[in-house]
Amino acid sequence: MDSRGYFIPAGIGFKKENTFFRNKYGEVEIEVCSANRQLVEECIRKIILARENCLLRTSIKKIVQIIDKASSNLSDEKYSLRKEAEDVLPVTTGLSPQMLSLGMDALTTTFRKENMLNMLYSELGDPKYLDGFRKSKAGESKALGKELIVNVFGSGGVPGLQVMGIVNALLMKSAVFSKPDSGEPVLPSIYARAIADVDPRLADAIALFPWKGGDPEFADLEACVFSERKENEAVVVFGSDETIRNVKKKVSPECAFIAYPPRTGLIMVAKEKLTKNNAKNLAERMAWDICMYDQKACFSPQYVYLEEGGKVSPEEFAGILSKEMDRMGEKFPVGELTDIAKTRINERRRTYELQEIIGSAKIFNPKGGLVIFERNRALETPITYRTIHVMSVNILSEVLGLIKPFEKHVQTVGIEAGEEEFREFSDILSLRGDVSRITTPGNMYRFPPSAHHDGRKNFDGFIKWVDRIA
Partner 1 sequence: MSYLETCDTMLNHPNPFNMDIEEANALRLAAIQGSFEHHYKNNAVYRAFCDKFGVKPDDIRTFDDITKIALITSDFFKQVSAYKEEDLFKIISIPPEKIVTYFTTSGTTGKPSKYPFDRNSLARLNKSNAQILKCLADISVDDKFMFLTPDLKHTVTGLVHGMYQSIETCIGKERAQEQVRFAQKIDDGGEAHYQLDDLLNIMAGGGIVHLFGPPFAYKDIAEMLLKSRQIIKMAEKSKAFMSGGWKGRQDAMITPKELGQLINGAFGIEERNIRDGLGLTDVFSWLLECEKKRKHVPPWMHVSARKESDSLKDLEKTMPKNQEGIMAFLTPIIESYPAFLTTGDLGALTTDFDAKCECGRIGPTVEYRRRSGDPRGCALEELKKMQTSAFVFVEKERYEGHVKTT
Binding site for partner 1 (CB under 8 A): 94, 154-158, 161, 183, 238-240, 262-265, 294-298, 300, 302, 337-351, 353-355, 357-358, 360, 376-385, 405-406, 409
3-state SS, residue 93: helix
At position 376, the amino acid (one-letter code) is N
CA dist., res. 145 & res. 171, Å (int): 9
Minimal distance, residue 348 CB to partner 1, in Å: 8
Minimal distance, residue 327 CB to partner 1, in Å: 21
Minimal distance, residue 262 CB to partner 1, in Å: 5
Minimal distance, residue 96 CB to partner 1, in Å: 14
Minimal distance, residue 145 CB to partner 1, in Å: 25
Q: Which phi-psi region, left, alpha or beta, contains residue 361 (left: φ > 0; alpha: ψ -120 to 50)?
A: beta
Minimal distance, residue 274 CB to partner 1, in Å: 24
Residue nearer to partner 1 on the CB measure, 62 or 404: 404
How far CA 278 is from CA of 30, 122, 283, 288, in Å, comes to: 47, 35, 8, 16
Cβ neighbours around 248 below 10 Å, total: 13
Residue nearer to partner 1 on the CB measure, 91 or 207: 91
> Helices 160-171 and 60-75 meet at what angle, rounded to 10?
160
Residue nearer to partner 1 on the CB measure, 67 or 298: 298
What does the radius of gyration of the chain's CA atoms come to, in whole angstroms?
A: 23
- Residue 56, phi then psi, degrees to nearest 5: -70, -20
CB 348 within 8 A of CB 383: yes
CA dist., res. 408 & res. 352, Å (int): 27
Beta bridge partners of 17: 32
Beta bridge partners of 363: 372
Minimal distance, residue 384 CB to partner 1, in Å: 4
Q: How far does the chain reach from its first CA to its final CA, in angstroms?
A: 59
CB 200 within 8 A of CB 277: no
Residue nearer to partner 1 on the CB measure, 159 or 319: 159
Residue nearer to partner 1 on the CB measure, 369 or 449: 369
Minimal distance, residue 109 CB to partner 1, in Å: 21
CB 16 within 8 A of CB 4: no
Residue nearer to partner 1 on the CB measure, 145 or 329: 329
Residue nearer to partner 1 on the CB measure, 49 or 402: 402
Residue nearer to partner 1 on the CB measure, 175 or 383: 383
DSSP H or E run through 57 = none
Residue nearer to partner 1 on the CB measure, 125 or 183: 183
Minimal distance, residue 436 CB to partner 1, in Å: 15
Going across the sheet that includes 463-468, the strands are 134-136, 139-145, 463-468
